[in-house]
């Protein structure tokens, strides 16, 4: 295990669901129903996706869902964003990343971002892989929103972890189909030199083809990180109307390699759903479920390896 000093314990986390807990496979999800926006009418299904996804997987996989955690405070958003920008969004004076000023949607932002943060805290404290069923982070810049992203939960989480734990380097592996321009904008604006950020474009050759050797080399850049944030977007899929790079099998290999890398290098990791725009949404949920299968396979392999070593 990495030599990470844990200085904060969140005793408020309470186990509320453990359908397959008898399997004793540690698949922990930090999810609260308040992450979902009612009446989402945007082109992006992201605001209602967490519930659909959790409802689909909770009875099929050995997951443990933690829901009893606190939303972020307004001051947490100030860590990564211009406070004036944060206030205008949360007070409904400016359109959010979904292009509306809905107070109900603004309320969900406290929870989507907190889901990622608490999932990350849990992963660090327990040195494991966790899931935050969240989306809508990486296009949010220091003082503007774009493309269904309002606040950058990746950066907010990285800053909070850096401040609360003795971390030296945090990796953001962003394999959503799209460039995390907001993430780079905030890293540059705030001079966050402890964050290493790479995206899916680095995985493709000049013909937009996936290269396994490139993926393996890219992951090695993260080997000295204390912690990894992984955007496992479904929109790189070849059939996605806003993506279109990778086959279903290539996405599976992507997930397998990231989870295996995290385990082999003993670096805790939190993944999230990020983008996916195929219709009907079941096609997107199928791809996210494939990521859960790779996560389960990685956990099962690791458990088997540990047993053999005993």
At its nearest, how many Å lie between Zn ion and the CB of residue 273? Answer: 11
Stretch that binds Zn ion, among 27-35, 196-204, 232-240, 258-266 (CB under 5 A): 232-240
Does 294 bind Zn ion (CB under 5 A)? Our answer is no
HSE-CB of 197 using CA atoms within 13 angstroms: 20
Does 235 bind Zn ion (CB under 5 A)? Our answer is yes
Does 139 bind Zn ion (CB under 5 A)? Our answer is no
Beta carbon nearer to Zn ion, 49 or 118:
49
Beta carbon nearer to Zn ion, 63 or 203:
203
Stretch that binds Zn ion, among 113-121, 161-169, 209-217, 272-280 (CB under 5 A): 272-280
Stretch that binds Zn ion, among 27-35, 95-103, 268-276, 294-302 (CB under 5 A): 268-276
| CB-closest chain residue to Zn ion | 275
Total interface residues for Zn ion by CB under 5 A? 5
Beta carbon nearer to Zn ion, 120 or 272:
272
Stretch that binds Zn ion, among 101-109, 169-177, 200-208, 278-286 (CB under 5 A): 169-177
Beta carbon nearer to Zn ion, 178 or 254:
178
At its nearest, how many Å lie between Zn ion and the CB of residue 176? Answer: 4
Does 178 bind Zn ion (CB under 5 A)? Our answer is yes
At its nearest, how many Å lie between Zn ion and the CB of residue 234? Answer: 9
Beta carbon nearer to Zn ion, 176 or 226:
176
At its nearest, how many Å lie between Zn ion and the CB of residue 309? Answer: 40
At its nearest, how many Å lie between Zn ion and the CB of residue 275? Answer: 3
Beta carbon nearer to Zn ion, 13 or 52:
52
Residues 6 or more apart in contact with residue 114 via CB below 8 angstroms: 32, 69, 70, 71, 72
Stretch that binds Zn ion, among 50-58, 112-120, 153-161, 168-176 (CB under 5 A): 168-176
Does 275 bind Zn ion (CB under 5 A)? Our answer is yes
268: its two tokens: 């805790």
- For residues 83 and 295, give the distance between their C-alpha atoms in angstroms, rounded to a whole number: 37
73: its two tokens: 């405070």
* From 27, 109, 177, 246, residue interacting with Zn ion (rule: CB under 5 A): 177
Beta carbon nearer to Zn ion, 201 or 217:
201
End-to-end, the C-alpha distance of the chain in Å comes to 17
Interacting residues with Zn ion between 9 and 68 (CB under 5 A):
none
Q: Shortest CA distance to 13 belongs to which of 140, 162, 118?
A: 118
Burial 207-233 (b: 16+ CB within 10 A, else e): eeebeeeebeebbeebeebbbbbbbbb
Contacting positions for Zn ion (CB under 5 A): 176-178, 235, 275
């Amino acid at each position: 295990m990495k030599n990470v000093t844990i200085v904060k314990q969140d005793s408020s986390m309470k186990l509320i669901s453990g359908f397959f807990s008898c399997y004793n496979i540690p698949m922990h999800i930090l999810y609260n129903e308040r992450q979902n926006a009612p009446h989402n009418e945007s082109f992006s299904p992201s605001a209602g996706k967490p519930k659909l996804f959790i409802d689909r997987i909770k009875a099929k996989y050995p997951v443990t869902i933690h829901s009893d955690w606190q939303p972020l405070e307004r001051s947490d958003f100030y860590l990564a964003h211009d406070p004036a920008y944060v206030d205008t969004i949360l007070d409904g004076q400016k359109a959010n990343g979904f292009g509306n000023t809905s107070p109900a949607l603004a309320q969900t932002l406290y929870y989507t971002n907190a889901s990622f943060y608490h999932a990350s805290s849990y992963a660090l404290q327990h040195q494991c892989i966790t899931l935050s069923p969240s989306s809508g982070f990486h296009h949010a810049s220091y003082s503007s929103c774009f493309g269904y992203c309002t606040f950058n939960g990746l950066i907010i989480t990285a800053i909070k972890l850096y401040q609360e734990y003795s971390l030296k380097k945090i990796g953001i592996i962003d394999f959503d189909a799209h460039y995390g321009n907001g993430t780079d904008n905030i890293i540059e604006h705030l001079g966050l030199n402890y964050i290493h950020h790479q995206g899916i474009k680095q995985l493709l050759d000049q013909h937009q083809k996936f290269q396994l050797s490139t993926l393996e080399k890219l992951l090695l850049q993260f080997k000295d990180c204390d912690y990894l944030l992984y955007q496992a977007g479904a929109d790189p899929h070849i059939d996605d109307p806003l993506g279109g790079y990778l086959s279903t099998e290539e996405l599976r290999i992507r997930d397998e390699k990231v989870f295996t890398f995290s385990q082999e290098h003993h670096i805790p990791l939190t993944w999230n759903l990020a983008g996916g725009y195929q219709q009907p949404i079941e096609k997107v949920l199928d791809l996210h479920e494939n990521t859960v299968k790779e996560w389960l396979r990685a956990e099962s392999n690791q458990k088997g390896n540990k047993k053999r070593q005993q």
